[in-house]
């Protein structure tokens, strides 16, 4: 195939000649091999990231100093960079690494699958691996949550959950309720119930949605009572992007009662807070209630595969897709239930219980919260709040002006809104640079550092993180700012 030179005009299309009718050898493009990719240095990675991935994101990586690091391998609680430096992972891929990096049992299950050349894509046939994974998820789920849809991501699982609930609610009840500061994914459907202007941008989103405050049960009741077209309510049990926000226990019990009273279907988004992270398999189990539909992803793939799942009550599922005529409306897509991905998830679920990782999340999470709350008492002018459940913890700083000496506060306070997130960024960058610790941030409340370490986290890892954090805060805010500025000019 001959490709003509691209015209100078930026709006012109590249012209491609028609292929020859007779067979001809197709020249191999200038492709990078696996070994060349492995050997690539930071400069080469940066060039390709800027050219082909996301130049704007690179700007933020440079601010944080993350662009200087090439991860060579990862094991357990640690990343290992190009210099052999071990970086303690308290980010955890936004909750995707319950088992840490490269858990040996999960690696062995995948290796055996490959060595035996088992089937990967079996769309034409039933898959024993997809069936087994669905069974296991039903067994892990309380009540009558037992019908499973398998996909590849949290967004896909939530798309399936909302579609199922909306269809089961029926055309006379088309409205879907969601909460302020919610995050349910970036794909087009769930974008309509993701409460973030950054993600919504200027896309045309679904107009059958209603927004309410998170955790306000009176607002829920008023809406249900006043609008008979409401058929579905979708809520994260713990808001992740909102800054690790929880509703009180009685909220969930009253919500279940109101949904039953008014015939509204409740979809619980457990993509981030589920799978043992809160100290129970599902976070809603802390409150003794069961939703009509829920969704998992993140660590469901064992940190080695992209797997998402919707789990629904059989009655709801059958109402939506229970006949031969309706069964294929939302059947599994090409990569839903892939063999090795399902085997990975099957083994991961067994590891989750065999190694007591849900219990560990509860116990070690309590210890993490205890130590961080002691730091809040030590640095009350810097740390505004510490909150969370299990190993899903939010650490909120005061607005920037409030952390400064009294004489500077009136001058800086007018800039607080523009400076939101700056202290989180400074602390995150310096924790990585000076203490070899990686943390995460939140989408909506930028003053919050998000901590979601693997569920294999032990007290020694908590101590290392908290001691590093304590050491950094002991420098004082002015020194932290100066240290960060120096890091930008080196």
Q: What is the pLDDT of residues 302-356, one digit of tens each?
A: 999 999 999 999 999 999 999 999 988 898 888 899 999 999 999 999 999 999 9
Q: Is pLDDT above 50 for 3?
A: no
Chain mean pLDDT for the chain:
92
From 252-256, 331-335, 362-366, the region with the lowest mean pLDDT: 331-335
Q: 356: closest CA among 281, 304, 290, 287?
A: 281
What residues does 48 pair with on adjacent strands?
none
Q: How far is the C-alpha of 131 from the C-alpha of 165, rounded, in Å?
A: 22
Q: Which of 52-56, 390-394, 395-399 has the highest mean pLDDT?
A: 390-394
118-142: average pLDDT: 92
Give the pLDDT score at 6: 45
Alpha-carbon distance values, 26 to 1, 2, 20, 237, 386 (Å): 7, 10, 11, 53, 60
87-115: average pLDDT: 97
476-489: average pLDDT: 81
Higher-confidence position of 267 and 480? 267
209-226: average pLDDT: 98
Q: 206: closest CA among 151, 158, 277?
A: 158
Give the pLDDT score at 474: 96
428-441: average pLDDT: 95
Helical pair 459-473 and 422-435, crossing angle rounded to 10 deg: 120
Q: How far is the C-alpha of 20 from the C-alpha of 2, rounded, in Å?
A: 10
Residues 6+ apart with CB under 8 A from 423: 382, 397, 400, 403, 447, 477, 480
Q: Is pLDDT above 80 for 19?
A: no
Give the pLDDT score at 2: 42
Q: What is the pLDDT of residues 135-174, one digit of tens each?
A: 999 999 999 999 999 999 999 999 999 999 999 999 999 9
Give the pLDDT score at 1: 42
Domain ranges of the chain: 102-353
**If one looks up domain 102-353 in CATH, what number appears?**
3.40.640.10
From 126-130, 215-219, 399-403, 467-471, the region with the lowest mean pLDDT: 399-403
Give the pLDDT score at 14: 66
> Residue 239: is it exposed, middle or buried by C-beta count within 10 angstroms (0-12/13-18/19+)?
buried
Q: What is the pLDDT of residues 311-323, one digit of tens each?
A: 999 999 999 999 9
Q: What does the CA dihedral 201, 298, 388, 373 come to, rounded to 10 degrees? A: -100
Determine what percent of the chain is predicted with pLDDT higher than 70. 91
Residues 6+ apart with CB under 8 A from 23: none
What pLDDT band is residue 4 in, cutting at 50, 70 and 90?
A: very low
Residues 6+ apart with CB under 8 A from 462: 364, 367, 368, 371
């Amino acid at each position: 195939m001959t490709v003509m030179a691209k015209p100078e005009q930026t709006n012109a299309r590249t012209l491609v000649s028609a292929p020859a009718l007779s067979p001809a050898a197709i020249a191999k493009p200038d492709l990078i091999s696996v070994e060349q990719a492995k050997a690539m240095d930071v400069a080469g990675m940066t060039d390709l990231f800027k050219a082909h991935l996301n130049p704007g994101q690179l700007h933020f990586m440079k601010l944080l100093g993350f662009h200087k690091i090439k991860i060579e391998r990862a094991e357990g609680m640690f990343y290992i960079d190009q210099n052999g430096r071990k970086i303690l992972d308290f980010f955890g891929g936004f909750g995707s690494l319950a088992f840490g990096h490269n858990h040996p049992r999960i690696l062995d299950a995948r290796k055996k699958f490959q060595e035996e050349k088992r089937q990967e894509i079996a769309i034409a046939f039933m898959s024993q691996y997809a069936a087994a994974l669905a069974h296991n998820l039903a067994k892990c789920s309380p009540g009558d949550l037992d019908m499973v849809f398998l996909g590849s991501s949290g967004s896909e699982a939530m798309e399936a959950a909302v579609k199922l609930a909306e269809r089961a609610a029926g055309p006379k009840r088309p409205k879907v309720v969601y909460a302020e500061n919610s995050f349910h994914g970036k794909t087009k459907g769930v974008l309509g119930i993701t409460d973030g202007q950054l993600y919504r941008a200027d896309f045309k989103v679904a107009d059958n949605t209603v927004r309410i405050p998170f955790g306000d049960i009176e607002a829920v009741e008023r809406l249900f009572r006043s609008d008979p077209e409401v058929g579905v309510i979708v809520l994260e049990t713990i808001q992740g992007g909102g800054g690790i926000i929880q509703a009180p226990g009685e909220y969930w019990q009253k919500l279940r009662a109101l949904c039953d009273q008014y015939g509204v279907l409740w979809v619980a988004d457990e993509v981030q807070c589920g799978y043992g992270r809160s100290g129970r398999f599902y976070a809603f189990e802390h409150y003794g209630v069961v939703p009509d539909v829920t969704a998992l992803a993140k660590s469901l793939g064992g940190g080695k595969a992209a797997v998402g799942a919707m789990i629904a009550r059989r009655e709801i599922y059958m109402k939506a897709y229970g006949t031969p005529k309706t069964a294929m409306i939302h059947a599994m897509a090409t990569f839903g239930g892939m063999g090795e991905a399902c085997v990975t998830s099957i083994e991961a679920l067994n590891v989750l219980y065999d190694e007591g990782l849900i219990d560990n999340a509860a116990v070690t999470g309590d210890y993490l919260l205890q130590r961080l709350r002691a730091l809040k008492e030590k640095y009350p002018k810097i740390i505004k709040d510490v909150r969370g459940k299990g190993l899903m913890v939010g650490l909120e700083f005061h607005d920037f002006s409030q952390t400064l000496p009294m004489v500077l506060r009136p001058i800086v306070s007018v800039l607080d809104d523009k400076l939101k997130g700056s202290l989180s960024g400074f602390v995150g960058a310096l924790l990585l640079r000076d203490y070899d610790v990686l943390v995460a941030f939140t989408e909506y409340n930028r003053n919050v550092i998000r901590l979601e370490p693997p569920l294999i986290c032990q007290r020694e890892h908590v101590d290392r993180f908290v001691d590093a954090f304590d050491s950094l805060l002991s420098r004082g805010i002015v020194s932290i700012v100066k240290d960060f500025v120096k890091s930008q000019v080196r």
